[in-house]
Amino acid sequence: MIAMGRHAVHASALAVVLIIAGGAAAPASAQLHASAPYAPPPRTLDGSGNNATHPRWGQADTQYPRIAKANYTDGIAQMRDGPAARYVSNRIFNDVGQNLFSENGVTQWGWAWGQWLDHDFGREQDHPRQSVPLTFNPRDPLESFQSLLISIDFWRNAAAPGTGVTTTRQQVNTQSSYIDASNVYGVTRGRLDWLRDGPVDGNPTNNGPQLLLGPGRYLPRADARGNPSAAPSMELDGALITTPTRAAVAGDPRANENIALTAIHTLFAREHNRLVGRLPSSLPAETRFQIARRIVGAEQQYITYEEFLPALGVTLRPYRGYRPSVNSSLSNEFAVVGYRAHSMVNGSFDATEPAGTWSDAKLASFARTGITVKPHDGLVTLSIPLAAAYGNPDLLERVGIGPILESLGAERQYRNDEQLDNSLRSVLFQIPKPDTPDPSVCGLPVVDSRCFSFVLDLGATDMQRSRDHGMPPYNAMRVAYGLAPKPTFEDITGEPGGVDLGSLINDPTIVDFVSLRDRHGRPVPLGTPAAEVDAVEGTRRTTLASRLRAIYGDVGAVDSFVGMMSESHLRGTEFGELQLAMWRRQFESLRDGDRFFYLNDPALREIRIRYGISYRHTLADLIRLNTHARVRDDVFRLPSD
């Protein structure tokens, strides 16, 4: 908002302001150029050709390059042995229901935007015939969940064609590695053709300029064009497994994974259509589509580099322009170790709106699905557990996109450490059993194991995935990223000298918390309401270093993912030394090796001059422009007070 002073603003100055802000009125220069259509050469959907010398760099369906030498037992493809993943999870990843929050005040937008980016630049392929289940031991003294199965599902990622038999097994990235909004538009012409208004004939260039949206401007469902079986494939989680025609369809198959992700997909589909509406109708439909797509990609880059990375404490070397010698392809190490930050994900979304926003009947229906409804001071708060948010686009529409987007900026995300909420560590993608007497007790404030039939452990899966991809152990990974190895377990965690736990590693009390502290270092009493919202650090009955020693014995044997997540944080960041080094290297290459990076792309300047539309929008700007949500200017961080 611009406040007017005592003197009138000169017309030319106002035009400049509108260009920068992307306001509704086009400046005079844009009006003069409107009769001379501008159609920038588009980015390819799959990322090919970005680099003229190496046209397959960053392209979808190409191999992840490696930073370190692959580490398979047989030198080819066999996963190396190590402690059982669920055994490690129960002793390292287990948060025993105690939440610890970001010490830097990073909101849930930290993990939500992180997931959004992940679905833009990386996706591995499962191998449908290579199931290697993880052991589930119901007699483990630290096991608090039950399962009808004696194992946890795990499938190896598919080997890249021609690898894994006589040569080292490699894996394929099915997404474009570039930050190019492929999660909005897809990486194939067939998917984009379905997503755009107009005929579905395999040729998206004869469609209208807008993306197809359903009632209320939400994502279209699989049956939106009459034949659900002809819709692009979408991954089905939660309730969608039994109601696949209700799946929302988007550029990335994972759009229904949780309602926050579905909301962001909806936001950017709306943003594309908003941009199309600002372009002259005299332009050809394909030109309007490609200009809007170019801006959306730049907006995602701008938010990532100007807001997201700084909020998490990731500082990069200064940008020196496009470097064609830099390969922007996502590295295997970053994809399966460095970017795994699931510890940040909160166990619930707390949406607070004025009383009357939702009818009494709707509030009652929310409660029946496991959502906690809390009226207070003329407001109503919905505490939506992850179990209710998985695979549930219907819930997004019933709650509303505004309240969900607001909720992400209203609470801190969890601390990026070795602990995972049981919504992810034990009951991933599951909904409560049909015979659960009261679903409202299943997810908040602590996941009730009696509500679920199986165990699916994201932390154990992350750990095993690194073995699947032949990742080196922790210290070898540090060396690959230019860091010195850590000689002791205490050096990894930053804790004082530890003890040898011996058989005590199987004592359930070893992971109990004995004290908590807030971000100022002040004590937070255990078991109090403050412990549920203020704790950023905690002390357990045994140190993390002592538990790592009891599990691995040798520092050189620590899994890279486990060691990375166990490191103490560098001040002012959400990361330990190794993870920060991995993020810096990858995000610099994504920037420097992208010919269409927003600080290098001349088309963006031409679009601004001709049509008065700028990509320079914060995430808060985009939320306000496309919803009625009320958000702060910086949605990634809570105010320091």
Give the C-alpha separation, 362 to 355, whole Å.
12
Residue 355 has pLDDT above 90, yes or no: yes
Average pLDDT over residues 411-428: 92
pLDDT exceeds cutoff 80 at 627: yes
Give residue 438's pLDDT.
66
Say what the pLDDT of residue 24 is: 38
- In a 3-state reduction of DSSP, which class is residue 355? coil
Structure confidence at residue 28 as a pLDDT band (50, 70, 90): very low
Q: What is the mean pLDDT of residues 186-210?
A: 96
Positive or negative, the Cα torsion across 421, 425, 431, 432?
Answer: negative
pLDDT of residue 8 exceeding 60: no
Q: pLDDT tens for residues 46-91?
A: 999 999 999 999 999 999 999 999 999 999 999 999 999 999 999 9
Look at residue 437 in the predicted model and tell me its pLDDT: 59
Half-sphere exposure (CA, 13 Å, Cβ side) for 298?
A: 27
Give the separation between CA 182 and CA 189, rounded to whole angstroms.
Answer: 12
> What is the residue-averaged pLDDT of the chain?
91
Torsion from C-alpha of 607, 609, 611, 612, nearest 10 degrees: 110
Partners of 538 in the β-ladder? 516
Distances (CA, A) of 435 to 438, 439, 455, 585: 9, 9, 18, 49
pLDDT reported for residue 431: 66
Position 5 pLDDT exceeds 70: no
CB 471 within 8 A of CB 161: no
Taking a C-beta distance cutoff of 8 angstroms, is the pair 474, 492 a contact?
yes
Q: Which pLDDT tens digit goes with each residue over 214-251?
A: 999 999 999 999 999 999 999 998 889 999 999 999 99
Q: What single-letter DSSP state applies at residue 488? A: S
Q: Which residues contact 174 (CB under 8 A, 6 or more apart)?
A: 60, 61, 123, 124, 125, 187
Q: What is the pLDDT of residue 21?
A: 34
pLDDT at position 530, please? Answer: 95
C-alpha distances out from residue 640 to 324, 519, 540, Å: 41, 10, 27
Average pLDDT of span 351-365: 96
Cα–Cα–Cα angle for 638, 639, 641, rounded to 5 degrees = 125
Residues 312, 573: Cα–Cα separation, whole Å:
6
Reply yes or no on whether the pLDDT at 29 is more than 90. Answer: no
Q: How confident is the model at residue 451 (pLDDT cuts 50, 70, 90)?
A: confident
CA distance 165 to 408: 45
**Between 639 and 295, whose confidence is greater?**
295
pLDDT band at 271 (very low <50, low <70, confident <90, very high): very high
Q: Are strands 379-385 and 513-517 parallel, antiparallel or unpaired?
A: unpaired
Q: How far apart are CA 78 and CA 132, in angstroms?
A: 12
pLDDT-derived band of residue 605, with 50, 70 and 90 as boundaries?
very high
pTM metric for this prediction: 0.92
Across 464-485, average pLDDT: 98
What pLDDT does residue 253 have? 97
pLDDT band at 369 (very low <50, low <70, confident <90, very high): confident
E-strand ranges in 237-371 read 348-354
435 Cβ partners below 8 Å, 6+ apart? Answer: none
Using CB atoms within 10 Å of the CB of residue 571, give its burial: 0 to 12 exposed, 13 to 18 middle, 19+ buried.
exposed
Percent of the chain residues topping a pLDDT of 90: 82
More confident: 4 or 564: 564
User: Residue 474 has what pLDDT?
Assistant: 98
What's the rounded Cα separation, in Å, for the pair 349 and 423?
A: 12
% residues pLDDT > 70 (the chain)? 92
| Band of residue 445 on the pLDDT scale cut at 50, 70, 90 | low
The predicted model gives 186-214 an average pLDDT of 96
